[in-house]
C-alpha cells in the first residue's frame, strides 16, 4: 500500500510539471527561457541538498556527463517553449509518446529483435503520435509547439539512455542538473525576458518539488517495482496531465486528443508488456 501511494505521488509530480509550466508561461507570468533556467537551478539545489543529507559525492566529471547534461538541456528548452502554444495534456502525451518510440527504435537498432506484438504496439503508438502532432483547430496547440515537444522527448530519451545502468541515479541526476545550468545560460541572452513573482514561484516549484523531489521519490520506489510495472505505471502521466489540464486550466479535451491518447498509450502498453520486453527488463 505504501509503495502504491508513493508511486502515485511520483506520477502526479511528473504530470504536474506540464501543468505548472503551462500555467506559468500561458499566463504571461514568466517567459519560457527564464522558466527553464529557474527550474533547472531549483532542481539542482534540491537534488544536491538531498544528496548531502543522504551522503555521497557529486560526480560532475563523471563519464557521459556532457551528453547527459546536453540532452537534459534540450529537454528543458523544448519543454518550456512548447507550452507557449500546447495544452498541458497534449504536451505530456507528445512528450511521453516520443520518448517511448525513440527508446524502442534505439533498442531495435542495437540488435534487440522485436516480436510481432512489439512491432504492432509500436506502430499503433506511432500512428497515435502522428495524430497528436497533426495541426488542426481546437487540438490544443500548433505544429511548432508539437515539434518543440518532440525535441524535448528526443532529449529526454537520450538522457534516459545515457544514464541507463548508472550505479547512483540520484547522484547522476544531480550532477546533470548542475552541469546543465551553464548550458542553459544561452537562453538568458536576448530580449523578451521577464519574470513576475508568481512565475518565479511556479518555476521553483517545478524544479525543486515536482522535478527534484519527484525524481528522488522515483528512484526510491523504482527498485521496489518490477520492471514491467515501472514501465506500465508511467502510462498514467499523460492521462493525469490531460485530466488536470481540463479541471484546473479549463483545457478542452477534444475527440482527437482522446483518440490519440488511446492509440499512444495502448500501443505502448502492448509493447512494454510483450514477453520479450518483460525478459529484457529488471
Asked if 102 and 183 touch (Cβ cutoff 8 Å), the reply is no
Q: What pLDDT sits at residue 141?
A: 57
The 10s digit of each residue's pLDDT in 187-246 is 676 667 899 999 999 999 999 999 999 988 888 888 787 666 777 788 888 889 999 999
Beta bridge partners of 273: none
3-state secondary structure 158-177: HHHHHHCCCCCHHHHHHHHH
Measured distance CA(193)–CA(190) in Å, rounded: 7
Tally Cβ neighbours within 10 Å of residue 165: 7
Domain that holds residue 268: 2-279
Measured distance CA(67)–CA(236) in Å, rounded: 28
180 pLDDT band, cuts 50/70/90, is very high
280 pLDDT band, cuts 50/70/90, is very low
| Phi, psi dihedral angles at 195 (to 5 degrees) | -155, 110
279 pLDDT band, cuts 50/70/90, is very low
Number of domains in the chain: 1
Q: What is the mean pLDDT of the chain?
A: 85
Q: What pLDDT sits at residue 12?
A: 94
> In a 10 Å sphere around its CB, with 0-12 CB exposed, 13-18 middle and 19+ buried, how is residue 82 labelled?
buried
The 10s digit of each residue's pLDDT in 7-60 is 899 999 999 999 999 999 999 999 998 999 999 999 999 999 999 998 888 988
Number of H helices, E strands in the chain: 13, 0
Measured distance CA(160)–CA(151) in Å, rounded: 14
**Nearest alpha-carbon partner for 271 in 119, 107, 126:** 119
Which percentage of the chain shows pLDDT scores above 90? 37
Query: Among positive and negative, which fits the CA dihedral 89, 95, 101, 103?
Result: negative
Asked if 241 and 88 touch (Cβ cutoff 8 Å), the reply is yes
Amino acid at each position: 500500500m505504501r509503495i502504491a501511494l508513493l508511486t502515485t505521488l511520483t506520477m502526479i509530480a511528473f504530470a504536474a510539471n506540464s501543468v505548472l509550466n503551462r500555467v506559468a508561461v500561458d499566463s504571461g507570468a514568466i517567459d519560457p527561457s527564464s522558466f527553464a533556467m529557474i527550474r533547472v537551478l531549483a532542481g539542482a539545489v534540491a537534488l544536491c541538498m538531498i544528496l548531502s543529507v543522504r551522503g555521497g559525492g557529486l560526480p560532475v566529471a563523471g563519464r557521459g556527463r556532457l551528453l547527459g547534461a546536453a540532452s537534459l538541456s534540450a529537454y528543458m528548452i523544448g519543454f518550456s517553449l512548447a507550452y507557449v502554444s500546447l495544452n498541458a495534456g497534449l504536451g505530456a502525451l507528445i512528450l511521453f509518446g516520443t520518448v517511448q518510440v525513440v527508446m524502442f527504435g534505439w533498442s531495435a537498432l542495437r540488435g534487440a529483435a522485436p516480436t510481432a506484438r512489439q512491432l504492432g504496439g509500436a506502430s499503433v503508438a506511432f500512428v497515435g503520435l502522428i495524430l497528436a502532432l497533426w495541426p488542426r483547430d481546437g487540438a490544443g496547440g500548433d505544429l511548432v509547439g508539437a515539434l518543440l515537444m518532440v525535441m524535448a522527448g528526443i532529449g529526454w530519451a537520450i538522457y534516459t539512455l545515457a544514464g541507463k545502468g548508472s550505479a547512483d541515479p540520484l547522484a547522476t541526476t544531480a550532477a546533470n542538473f548542475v552541469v546543465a545550468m551553464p548550458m542553459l545560460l544561452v537562453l538568458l541572452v536576448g530580449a523578451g525576458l521577464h519574470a513576475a513573482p508568481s512565475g518565479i514561484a511556479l518555476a521553483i516549484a517545478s524544479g525543486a518539488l515536482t522535478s527534484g523531489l519527484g525524481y528522488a521519490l522515483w528512484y526510491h520506489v523504482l527498485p521496489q517495482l518490477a520492471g514491467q510495472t515501472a514501465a506500465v505505471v508511467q502510462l498514467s502521466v499523460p492521462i493525469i496531465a490531460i485530466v488536470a489540464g481540463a479541471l484546473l486550466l479549463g483545457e478542452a479535451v477534444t475527440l482527437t486528443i482522446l483518440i490519440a491518447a488511446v492509440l499512444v498509450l495502448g500501443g505502448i502498453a502492448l509493447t512494454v508488456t510483450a514477453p520479450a520486453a518483460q525478459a529484457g527488463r529488471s
